[in-house]
Amino acid sequence: MVRKARIEDAQAIHALLNHYAGEGIMLSASLAEVYEYIRSFYVYELDGAVVGTVRLQ
């Protein structure tokens, strides 16, 4: 299910961004940046876990 990100998703979003940034697929972001821009993130949730994310500006 795709939904707007919530504050409690910040850690999972941060982990996803940094994992894929390490592979050169996404840009990295600090945890502080994720919290700052949390309202512009959407997440894909599967079985209660955040498994994907996107940030729209």
Low-confidence ranges of the chain (pLDDT < 50): none
pLDDT of residue 57: 87
Question: Which residues make beta-bridge pairs with 3?
Answer: 43
Q: What does the pLDDT look like over 20-35, one tens digit per residue?
A: 999 999 899 999 999 9
Residue 1 near residue 32, CB atoms below 8 Å: no
Class of residue 49 by CB neighbours under 10 A (exposed 0-12, middle 13-18, buried 19+): exposed
Percent above pLDDT 70 for the chain: 100
The whole domain housing 11 covers 2-55
Task: Tell me how many domains the chain contains.
Answer: 1
